[in-house]
Structure 1
Amino acid sequence: MTAKVAVIYYSATGTVHALAQAVAEGAAAAGAAVRLRRVAELAPDGAIDANPLWRRHADAAAEVGEAAVEDLAWADAFAFGTPTRFGAPAAQLKQFIDQTAGLWQEGGLADKPVTAFTSAHHRHGGTEATILSLANVFYHWGALIVPPGFTDPAVHAAGGNPYGASAVTGPGGDGAGPAALDAARHQGR
């Protein structure tokens, strides 16, 4: 039986989108059927238009299917990605997660492997806190949290976050560069 993996993410400027694609590639390379889905945008057009990178990515990512709770019901495993916002997941991903109560009450999220990945502007911008914040949700679901740990040289090359692949977009970081993408592919496997 082929494993089914839902890669659900939010990305404003494209960094987490690139990580999500790499996680999906890793899962597919391991033989999984993959659904790559973005969550709905909540920000008003005025805020998006004020940042050219945000607008460019919003337009480019429109081709990616929008996440629905049904994607989680379909999947045997999940990977969630979000930019770090003050050490926490973006509101867009949290809003999607808040819609899962019915599936959770039915037991549809229990005993399924789950992992998370993120990005931040600064090296110490809260990536680990963001992933740990998502872990609180996964505990309530009864999901099986699967971090990459230090199980592959790719994790070390990307800065060594054992909680999940993460990218730094600001000073000293290379965003969704080769090292971060390799770590995300490893996490997807």
Structure 2
Amino acid sequence: MHDILVLYYSQHGATRELARLIARGIDSVDGCRARVRTVPKVSTVCEASAPAVPDSGAPYVERQDLVECAGLAMGSPTRFGNMAAAMKYFLDGTAPEWMQGSLAGKPACVFTSSSSQHGGQESTLLSMMIPLLHHGMLIVGLPFTEPALSHTSSGGTPYGVSHVAGSHNNATLSEDEKKLALAQGKRLAEMARKLAL
């Protein structure tokens, strides 16, 4: 069985929903299963720390999740055209995995959500790819052979699935966004399975 790590940070729930759908896409591929994890919020108070176990949702990621995964789907909300601080903070601490080559040669994809259509989704997706490339991961995009990518009027890019949450962060995922998230998870799992042969 190939475990694919679906690692995300979500503040209002949209990125978490994309992660859930990507996980379903992964689980649809024989011999693959999703391992869904999140990262703790970063506090501006130096003495503050997150509880050891989240109040709800996915468990926090552990270093062993990176070592054991056959692939990685990483998602973050867009913050000024970049990934959220919580995800960046986690990645900044992965030097031991980088030195050991724990992720080298494994496939990865990225996903995001923003409040507006022009909120920097593509630059966020590209910024998330950079540390993954440093880890030696193989980036799996979302090709235009996915019909929803050609006609979506909401989220979705060839760099990875995206969602437009709206100015009040209450817009539900469109049918196209859902299809693209499922397709991205399936594509990642199929690539992980091929690379494991």
Q: TM-score, normalised by structure 2?
A: 0.82
Q: What is the CA deviation profile of residues 13-71 of structure 1, one whole-angstrom value per residue up to 9, with x for unaligned ones?
A: 000000000000000011312100111122469xxxxxxxxxxxx85xx2421111211
Partner of 2:164: 168
Partner of 2:119: 125
Pair 18,145 (structure 1): closer, same or farther in 2 beyond 3 Å: same
Distance 1:121 1:105 in 2: 36
**Is 2:87 the partner of 1:93?**
yes
Partner of 2:194: none
Partner of 1:183: 180
CA contact (8 A) 1:154 1:186 kept: no
Report how far residue 103 of structure 1 moved. 0.9
Superposed CA RMSD in Å reads 1.9
Partner of 2:141: 147
Give 5+ residue unaligned stretches, structure 1.
Answer: 46-57
Distance 2:172 2:157 in 1: 14
Partner of 2:17: 18
More helix by share: 1
Give 5+ residue unaligned stretches, structure 2.
Answer: 46-53, 187-197
Distance 1:160 1:166 in 2: 5
| 3-state SS in 2 of match to 1:167 | strand
Distance 2:59 2:112 in 1: 20
Report how far residue 146 of structure 1 moved. 0.4
Q: What is the CA deviation profile of residues 147-180 of structure 1, one whole-angstrom value per residue up to 9, with x for unaligned ones?
A: 1121211323354411100000116x94423321
Distance 1:160 1:176 in 2: 11
- Greater shift after overlay, 80-89 or 158-167? 158-167
Partner of 2:28: 29
Q: 1:136 aligns with which of 89, 105, 130?
A: 130
Distance 1:145 1:175 in 2: 27
Count matched residues.
Answer: 173
CA contact (8 A) 2:122 2:157 kept: yes
- Greater shift after overlay, 18-27 or 156-165? 156-165
